[in-house]
Structure 1
């Protein structure tokens, strides 16, 4: 329904709108990122919408942009490996991206007064979130959906719409509550909108609870052991480390020293893998780049893993850094799965190195997931940052992956946020996941996002995680229809903008 402009904006007048702004600023600081509070993510857009709609554009738009940019800088401080100027530029960019759906909401609701106008903000927000996740070098980082990572019932929506359904709900709640407020003196008209929001919200949350309680994983489990790197020095000096990572040459003595240290690390990993196999683990996997090998030494290194897998009858996921000396991009961030016969089932190179120092030295893989059928389900794997790209992980749903091995490496500032992000992909695509993390929270999670085992790198000296992991995943609606919901949101936003453009403000 299209009507003339008729909303009540009295609450936005004068000082009241700036009170909304102050509340928005305070709430935005905790609406995402390192210190996210789930409730703040629901409340912040409500008052920000009120402010953006009711202030003159020349004052309201710059103020909202400043709030969103500063909030993003605070939310993700220490989480992005960039120098200060680069980080400021990134925060300003994400501030502009964050502002856009609120500007679209302001434009549409000034011209369309019907309940359909409440779809402008959520449709635009979900569509922009989708496009950022699809094309940004940081993937889905910054998505408002990650603010709800502790709300497991709500997150079951991911199995239907992907993470963009959660973004839609955040935006639609803000839009509907503002629509109701503007019609608070005409309650019979506003009541229908309030009931519609309540009904949809209840269906989403209760549906999620029902899925968790009535349809939990029932497949047999397999014992999976995952190991982090030992606390052993790899390089004899910082200068040798720098030259190895930059592809510069080493003396024969330095090369021999690095090989000896790398062998000690390999000995540790293989001994621990053997111990876990003898304790009953049928799948063993290492954290990201736990092993190290010069490229010319790789065959001998793999032979040791193949011998162990054959002797113990296990699937062994060896995650290691293979360095091609003299290459412009010397690092091959590798995950290889060896089967109980000692044969290589598949090889995967990290597809998306983290922008910055890692990307500068990495030779990325082609991003094609490999899968092998085993008595314990279909096994596949990716490496760390790859999990932040929903489009890449869509392959897992299409391939029917049951267990995804995810060797990873984090740091304090992104722990445990980054591990929680990975659980979104498990729910979306219906696979069980083992994410073993150097310097972070390691978890095994089922395809509903339920954590079945966890190990905190910073709280224990025993860096091995053992979990009973379901051997069957679930084919989700999202894995079948892909981003149909997000594209529908994009189309809906464009239609609303077109309709609003035909009317004068």
Structure 2
């Protein structure tokens, strides 16, 4: 029978669930909640039988997933909920792994036992980022700390997984302290070890920010979006069609004037910024809508503007055709000679929201007098492996035309900060219906503009023309793989102990005392 204290298990589950609602990186995030909710959920799972604990935490994760959809402005009962539930299920597995594995590592391995949960958490985040169609858009603990720049600098070495590891390790250490009833003799080793590691990371990050800021010359970059009135008119017209196929078959004479109003708006804003000194100009994702037959003419017009003012101009195009899938989501870079440098197609359409044929997923680059430029489109930046192509190719400035919606735009832009730090490039995210923002390769915000606070959204920033080469960009997800290997090794250690002391294993028993919780043989 559980001890009396364990009857509060459902209270800990409730507290952990409430805290987790503010740790999913949405509009109402509270960064400290990401550090705390795991403490209570671990306390719950460690005082319950494995299956019961897993089901309880899964229910908490499901509530968090639904809440994330709600605060992101997405219909909670949409098919996207199924994807979020699948992702949250993967993120629940570390609690089960911790419950089954940590007690079997014994008191001599108390420090090692605290590593089970963070190792498993990194493995779960890595699986979601690599193999799900949502990338890292949901469930990254690191994203909740987007304003903690000293902490985030470790991402230049480990990727975002290093930040997630530290947050999850904090939860495991605190849960261990709780189980050992705050006995300093019993907890001093894991507490000191964690404190030293966290201190080194934060101090090291602070030193990097203070002593090694970007020192290269800068280039003036402008992001321009169409006026809200012009965009609203286009949106109303598009929404008047029941389906994308109906829109594709509409009379071109009806579509051209509406598309032209937005395009003319963007061209006028681009010329204004070029005259003001911008050398690189970025339009938002699908900022200009254009019929397939009219695309060449638009490219020519933009080429004339770029050649006249000597600028690089990145077009965000939504190209409408009469053949399925009807729309192509493109970013086209025009150089100061008026020539097309690249045509990049979005590699990762948003599941459930976009019907697109994905691009080839090859990040284009070009050397310019203002550094090496690269290109992603919006949701592509939620896939660390895709964004790392730019880092491994020495990109100095990543252009990310984007398009969001009011409830989600700010959080989505904040997530992109991690890609800049990981890969050592500055990042320009020009975002319609959201927060446009430029950050340098250490995560400093150089400029930002909220689409909903002005009629004509323009973002101007002086951006370092030289990035840095990071360890993460060079070695990729080695840290995540090391976590996989370390977890596998701990499973092996626990298996050997189970073979040596089969009669004394704690499988399936609540960890209700200090001795039981640590699996003392």
TM (norm. structure 1) is 0.93
1:61 deviation in Å?
2.6
The reply on whether 1:344 has 2:336 as its aligned counterpart is: no
Unaligned runs of 5+ in 2: 499-504, 507-521
SS across alignment from 1:453: strand
Deviates more, 1:142-151 or 1:195-204: 142-151
Query: What whole-Å deviation, never above 9, does each CA across 1:205-247 have from its counterpart, x for those lacking one?
Result: 1111111111111111111111112331237845764465556
Taking a change above 3 Å as real, the CA distance of residues 82 and 497 of structure 1, as seen in their structure-2 partners, is: farther
Separation (CA, whole Å) in 2 of partners of 1:338 and 1:111 = 61
SS across alignment from 2:22: coil
Provide the residue aligned with 1:429 in structure 2.
423
Separation (CA, whole Å) in 2 of partners of 1:27 and 1:470 = 38
The one of 71, 75, 79 aligned to 2:68: 75
Provide the residue aligned with 1:14 in structure 2.
6
Taking a change above 3 Å as real, the CA distance of residues 411 and 122 of structure 1, as seen in their structure-2 partners, is: same
Provide the residue aligned with 1:324 in structure 2.
321
Separation (CA, whole Å) in 2 of partners of 1:21 and 1:494 = 28
1:390 deviation in Å?
0.3
Provide the residue aligned with 2:39 in structure 1.
46
Separation (CA, whole Å) in 2 of partners of 1:302 and 1:445 = 29
Separation (CA, whole Å) in 1 of partners of 2:454 and 2:447 = 14
Taking a change above 3 Å as real, the CA distance of residues 52 and 297 of structure 1, as seen in their structure-2 partners, is: same
The one of 181, 189, 202 aligned to 2:178: 181
Provide the residue aligned with 2:519 in structure 1.
none
1:187-198 equivalent positions in 2, closer than 5 A = 187-198=184-195
Separation (CA, whole Å) in 2 of partners of 1:85 and 1:308 = 43
The reply on whether 1:36 has 2:36 as its aligned counterpart is: no
SS across alignment from 1:63: helix
Provide the residue aligned with 2:101 in structure 1.
108
Q: Which has the higher contact order (CA 8 A, sep 6+)?
A: 2
Provide the residue aligned with 1:6 in structure 2.
none
Separation (CA, whole Å) in 1 of partners of 2:134 and 2:89 = 16
Separation (CA, whole Å) in 2 of partners of 1:61 and 1:171 = 17
The reply on whether 1:335 has 2:331 as its aligned counterpart is: yes
The reply on whether 1:148 has 2:140 as its aligned counterpart is: no
The reply on whether 1:119 has 2:115 as its aligned counterpart is: yes
The reply on whether 1:411 has 2:405 as its aligned counterpart is: yes
Taking a change above 3 Å as real, the CA distance of residues 357 and 91 of structure 1, as seen in their structure-2 partners, is: closer
Provide the residue aligned with 1:4 in structure 2.
none
8 A contact 2:238–2:247 mirrored in 1: no
1:182-331 equivalent positions in 2, closer than 5 A = 182-184=179-181, 187-230=184-227, 231-232=229-230, 233-234=233-234, 237=237, 241-242=241-242, 246=246, 248-250=248-250, 254-325=251-322, 327-331=323-327
Provide the residue aligned with 1:169 in structure 2.
166
1:321 deviation in Å?
0.8
Deviates more, 1:53-62 or 1:193-202: 53-62
8 A contact 1:383–1:408 mirrored in 2: yes
Query: What whole-Å deviation, never above 9, does each CA across 1:164-203 have from its counterpart, x for those lacking one?
Result: 1111111111112222333347533421221111101111
Provide the residue aligned with 1:467 in structure 2.
461
8 A contact 1:286–1:436 mirrored in 2: yes
**Which ranges of 4 or more aligned residues in structure 1 deviate by more than 4 Å?**
9-12, 80-83, 235-248
SS across alignment from 2:221: strand
Instruction: Note the aligned Cα RMSD (angstroms).
Output: 2.0
Taking a change above 3 Å as real, the CA distance of residues 170 and 275 of structure 1, as seen in their structure-2 partners, is: same
Separation (CA, whole Å) in 2 of partners of 1:248 and 1:85 = 25
Provide the residue aligned with 2:513 in structure 1.
none
Provide the residue aligned with 2:385 in structure 1.
391
Separation (CA, whole Å) in 2 of partners of 1:393 and 1:452 = 20
8 A contact 2:69–2:81 mirrored in 1: no
Provide the residue aligned with 2:512 in structure 1.
none
Query: What whole-Å deviation, never above 9, does each CA across 1:124-144 have from its counterpart, x for those lacking one?
Result: 100110111011101102222
SS across alignment from 2:105: coil
8 A contact 2:87–2:128 mirrored in 1: no
8 A contact 1:152–1:449 mirrored in 2: yes
8 A contact 2:114–2:190 mirrored in 1: no
